[in-house]
């Protein structure tokens, strides 16, 4: 097994193990069960999405503040629209060409659905279909930023 | 002091849930409704978890609350894409 793939698998094992420790509170009995549960979970995760290259964790961490700020803006924007006496919506569609590894597209769609005014609705060929809540508000810019951030995180993964 | 933070933050969280529900009822189509549901409810749960975290006795309880929020976030992002994709397919076959 080559290096990057091994690192990717190690990351997943640490993540799943960490979740198990939080869930069980680190008691001996719980940890013994985890010694069986965590490898099974790891096996399932590798079957669903084979490991290719590890995420750039520092880039993931660096993106976190922007993600939180974006999802805060997204929630506030939709709240203002939902509670406004008169609805101000101009829904429309945008198609974005995407070049992301497996899993990256789902992550991208998940992120977009929390950013202001955008919602991923699957893809057609190599293009992501994005629903935009207000075509006059310039939400499309968010899409480019999110794509750049996720590309940076999955840098080096085979497409 | 911790109680004040809990009341204020969970209050904000409830407000976002209320707004998400208002959007769900008022927005004109499935896609726009999904916007309201995912974005507002994400903040609603986030603020409620943050508020409850002020009552936590141990770091593990804080980690559990963060885990709940992270998993709900992941589920919301995934499910909204699936619902949107299904709704789009329905529209095109009609």
For A4-54, the pLDDT digits (tens) are: 888 889 999 999 999 999 999 878 888 999 999 999 999 999 999 888 778
Size of interface A-B (CB pairs under 8 A): 110
What is the number of other CB atoms lying within 10 angstroms of the CB of residue A93? Answer: 12
Mark yes or no for CB contact A120/B74 under 8 Å: no
| Interatomic CA distance for residues B11 and B51, integer angstroms | 9
Range of the domain at B25: 2-93
Q: pLDDT grade, residue A157 (50/70/90)?
A: low
What pLDDT is stored for residue B48 in this prediction? 97
Please check whether residue A121 touches B, CB under 8 A.
yes
| Interatomic CA distance for residues A89 and B35, integer angstroms | 11
| Interatomic CA distance for residues A10 and A67, integer angstroms | 25
Q: Are residues A66 and A139 in the same domain?
A: yes
Backbone angles phi, psi at A55, to 5 degrees: -70, 145
Mark yes or no for CB contact A83/B16 under 8 Å: no
Number of domains within chain B: 1
DSSP state, A114?
T
Taken in order A114, B83, A60, A148, the sign of the CA dihedral is negative
Please check whether residue B84 touches A, CB under 8 A.
yes
Q: ipTM higher than 0.90? A: no
DSSP state, A86?
S
What pLDDT is stored for residue B36 in this prediction? 92
Mark yes or no for CB contact B88/A129 under 8 Å: yes
> A106 lies in a domain?
yes
Q: Are residues A114 and A41 in the same domain?
A: no
Whether A142 contacts A113, CB under 8 Å: no
Select the residue of A89, A114, A122 nearest B32 (Cβ to Cβ): A89
Strands A92-97 and A118-124: unpaired
Q: Are residues A43 and A66 in the same domain?
A: no
> A67 lies in a domain?
yes
> A87 lies in a domain?
yes
Backbone angles phi, psi at A122, to 5 degrees: 80, -170
Q: Are residues A62 and A109 in the same domain?
A: yes
| Interatomic CA distance for residues B91 and B94, integer angstroms | 5
Concatenated DSSP letters of B9-72: HHHHHHHHHHHHHHHHHHSSSHHHHHHHHHHHHHHHHHHHHHHHHTT-SSHHHHHHHHHHHHHH
Mark yes or no for CB contact A23/B64 under 8 Å: yes
The CA angle A87-A115-A53, to the nearest 5 degrees, is 160
> A38 lies in a domain?
yes
Among chain B residues, the shortest Cα distance to A106 is held by: B78
Number of domains within chain A: 2
Range of the domain at A33: 3-48
Please check whether residue A64 touches B, CB under 8 A.
no
Over residues B39-68, the pLDDT tens digits come to 999 999 999 999 999 999 998 999 999 999
Whether B49 contacts B69, CB under 8 Å: yes
- Asked if residue A156 has pLDDT above 80, the reply is no
Q: In this structure, what token pair is assigned to residue B61?
A: 């309880």
Q: Are residues A115 and A65 in the same domain?
A: yes
Mark yes or no for CB contact A82/B23 under 8 Å: yes
> A159 lies in a domain?
no
Q: Are residues A39 and A61 in the same domain?
A: no
Whether A108 contacts A99, CB under 8 Å: no
Q: Are residues A67 and A102 in the same domain?
A: yes
> A39 lies in a domain?
yes
Q: Are residues A76 and A31 in the same domain?
A: no
Q: Are residues A91 and A148 in the same domain?
A: yes
- Asked if residue B94 has pLDDT above 60, the reply is no
């Amino acid at each position: 097994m080559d290096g990057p793939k091994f690192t990717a698998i190690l990351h997943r094992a640490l993540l799943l193990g960490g979740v198990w420790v939080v869930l069980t509170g680190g008691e001996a009995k719980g940890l013994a069960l985890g010694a069986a549960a965590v490898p099974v979970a790891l096996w399932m995760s590798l079957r669903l999405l084979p490991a290719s290259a590890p995420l750039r964790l520092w880039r993931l961490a660096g993106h976190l503040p922007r993600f939180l700020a974006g999802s805060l803006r997204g929630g506030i924007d939709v709240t203002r629209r939902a509670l406004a006496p008169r609805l101000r919506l101009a829904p429309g569609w945008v198609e974005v060409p995407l070049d992301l590894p497996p899993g990256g597209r789902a992550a991208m769609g998940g992120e977009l659905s929390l950013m202001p005014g955008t919602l991923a609705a699957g893809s057609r060929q190599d293009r992501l279909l994005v629903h935009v809540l207000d075509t006059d508000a310039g939400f499309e810019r968010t899409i480019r930023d999110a794509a750049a951030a996720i590309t940076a995180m999955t840098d080096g993964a085979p497409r | 002091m911790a109680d004040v933070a809990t009341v204020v933050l969970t209050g904000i969280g409830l407000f976002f849930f209320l707004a998400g529900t208002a959007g769900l009822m008022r927005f004109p189509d499935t896609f726009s409704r999904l916007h309201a549901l995912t974005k507002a409810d994400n903040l609603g749960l986030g603020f409620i978890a943050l508020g409850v975290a002020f009552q936590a006795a141990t770091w593990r309880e804080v980690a559990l609350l963060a885990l709940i929020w992270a998993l709900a976030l992941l589920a919301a992002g995934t499910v909204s894409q699936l619902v949107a994709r299904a709704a789009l397919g329905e529209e095109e076959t009609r």
